[in-house]
Structure formats: structure tokens, C-alpha cells
């Protein structure tokens, strides 16, 4: 399967590290005009430097995905520059440094913050991109959730599991709303991957016994990589996935 994205415009959120970085670099390597955003300035610059070194430069911008004005500005910039938006990858998310706590110790502010970056961000970017995709009668929206959204979270963070489940619901709803314009909306649900400082701390916290137990529960007996997640996104964005919408693909090594 020869997948190419030459002259396509691709927006990737949360591209400073981990999944988002791998996704942005993969699209750039396959010829796309990539606009990548995050709030982690130094790491985002590293993503841009890696793309430059590979000979596939990308545009990077500092954008808080919960800021509707900033989101709209990035989408408008991409359309002004290239005339279109072909693919939107809503990868920004995470636990924002929070750790698992008993329900009664979770503040409303912490609850809302996780929903903001994981759900509101996906909604705002889809809302901004959809009119352009409708005008084109084509488009791909791919949301990155988590195994936590279809099961339980290894972190024990209630808001994270709930937000990822909500994002999956948003995926299915938008698939039905936007389908008549040739826009597909799908979801990739990664298993545990050591992809950034947060997941690395989580991995170390399990200790040798806990790490082995986690591996034993994976059919392939190994952890995945950010590239494994990027590969799933590339498939959903490709022409070969043109009649697939509203779906959740678990990329977790088999559970």
C-alpha cells in the first residue's frame, strides 16, 4: 500500500513530543504541508528541527487548544497559505501532571482542566476545520484517545478515563454529522507507550514486577512505539480508508 500525502495540508495538535511528534514527522515525510502546534515551546522547536534535518520542514506554532481564538487563527493561517485542510489530527491531551487520587480529593478545577485539553480542544479544532472540509467535499479528522476511554485508566485518574470516552463519543457523532460532505471522523486508541516524560514516570513507578505484569497482559508481549500510533493515523488519513468512519482502532499490541 503506497500512501502519499503530497500537497495535502495536515494539522497536528500536541506535536511537541511523543505521538504528536511522530505523526507530524510521518506526514511531512510523505509530502504533506504540516502545521503542528503545542504549548511546549522548546520541545516543539525540537520537532521542527527534526523535520528540518530530515529535509521535510514543517510549520510549528504555539497554540493552547482550549483557546478558541488561537485555534481559529491557526486554521485560518493554514487555509490562507495552502488553500485547504485535508487532515486534522487531534492528539493534544494527557493528564496535565495529575496523579491518581481518591474521588473525593479531586477538585472541580482539575476535572475541568483534563476535559479542556482532551475534549474541548478536539471539538474546537474540528469546529474550525469543518467549514473548509465541507467546501472541499472531503477531509479526514482523526482523534487520539486512549485505551482508558474504552476500559479503565492505568493512571486511576477519573477525569482522564471520562474525557477519552467523551472524545470517542464526539468522534462517532461527528462522523454522522459530517459524512455527507465526504469527511471521515475516526479515533485511534493507543495502549501504554513510553512516549513522553509523563508515561516514562508512570512506567518507572510500576517497578520491575509491575512492568512485567503489564507486558504479560499484552498479546505481543512488548510495548508499542509512537510510530505504531502514527502508522494507524496514516491509514485513517489515506485514500484506502475512504469508507471507514466513526470507528475506534485500538493500537495496543492485543488485549
Q: Determine contact, residues 134/181, Cβ cutoff 8 Å.
A: yes
- pLDDT at residue 154 in the model: 86
End-to-end distance of the chain based on CA atoms, in angstroms? 26
Give domain status of residue 43, yes or no: yes
Domain residues for the domain of 63 are 9-194+226-249
Give domain status of residue 25, yes or no: yes
For the segment 238-249, what is each residue's pLDDT rounded down to a tens digit? 999 999 999 999
Cα dihedral 37, 41, 46, 47, rounded to 10, equals: -10
What residues of the chain score a pLDDT lower than 50? none
Give domain status of residue 60, yes or no: yes
Please give the positions annotated as active site.
Answer: 160
Give domain status of residue 46, yes or no: yes
Measured between alpha carbons, how far is 186 from 201 in angstroms, rounded to an integer? 29
Question: Could you tell me the pTM of the whole model?
Answer: 0.95
**Residue holding cell 470507528?**
247
Give domain status of residue 235, yes or no: yes
Give domain status of residue 131, yes or no: yes
Give domain status of residue 202, yes or no: no
Give domain status of residue 28, yes or no: yes
- pLDDT at residue 155 in the model: 87
List all residues 6 or more positions away from 49 whose beta carbon is below 8 Å from its beta carbon: none
Domain tally, the chain: 1
Which CATH number covers residue 97?
3.40.50.720
Q: What is the 3-state secondary structure (H, E, C) of 162-227?
A: HHHHHHHHHHHHHHHHHHHHCEEEEEEEECCCCCCHHHHHHHHHCHHHHHHHHHHCCCCCCCCCHH
Residue 86 belongs to what H/E stretch?
Answer: none
Pairing status of strand 87-90 against strand 183-190: unpaired
Amino acid at each position: 500500500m503506497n500512501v502519499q500525502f503530497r500537497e495535502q495540508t495536515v494539522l497536528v495538535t500536541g506535536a511537541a513530543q511523543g505521538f504528536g511528534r511522530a505523526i507530524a514527522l510521518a506526514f511531512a515525510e510523505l509530502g504533506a504541508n504540516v502545521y503542528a502546534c503545542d504549548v511546549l515551546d522548546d520541545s516543539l522547536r525540537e520537532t521542527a528541527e527534526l523535520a528540518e534535518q530530515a529535509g521535510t520542514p514543517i510549520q510549528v506554532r504555539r497554540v493552547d487548544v482550549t483557546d478558541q481564538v488561537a485555534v481559529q487563527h491557526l486554521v485560518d493561517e493554514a487555509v490562507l497559505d495552502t488553500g485547504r485542510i485535508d487532515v486534522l489530527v487531534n492528539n493534544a491531551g494527557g493528564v496535565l501532571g495529575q496523579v491518581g487520587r481518591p474521588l473525593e480529593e479531586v477538585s472541580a478545577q482539575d476535572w475541568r482542566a483534563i476535559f479542556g485539553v482532551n475534549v474541548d480542544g478536539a471539538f474546537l479544532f474540528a469546529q474550525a476545520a469543518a467549514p473548509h472540509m465541507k467546501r472541499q467535499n472531503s477531509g479526514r479528522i482523526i482523534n487520539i484517545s486512549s485505551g482508558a476511554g474504552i476500559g479503565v485508566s492505568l493512571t486511576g485518574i477519573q477525569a482522564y478515563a471520562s474525557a477519552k470516552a467523551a472524545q470517542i463519543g464526539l468522534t462517532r457523532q461527528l462522523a454522522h454529522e459530517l459524512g455527507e460532505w465526504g469527511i471521515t471522523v475516526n479515533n485511534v486508541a493507543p495502549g501504554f507507550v513510553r512516549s513522553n516524560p509523563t508515561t516514562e514516570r508512570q512506567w518507572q513507578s510500576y517497578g520491575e514486577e509491575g512492568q512485567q505484569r503489564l507486558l504479560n497482559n499484552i498479546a505481543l508481549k512488548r510495548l508499542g512505539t509512537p510510530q505504531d500510533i502514527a502508522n494507524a493515523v496514516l491509514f485513517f488519513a489515506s485514500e484506502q480508508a475512504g469508507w471507514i468512519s466513526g470507528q475506534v482502532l485500538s493500537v495496543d499490541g492485543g488485549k
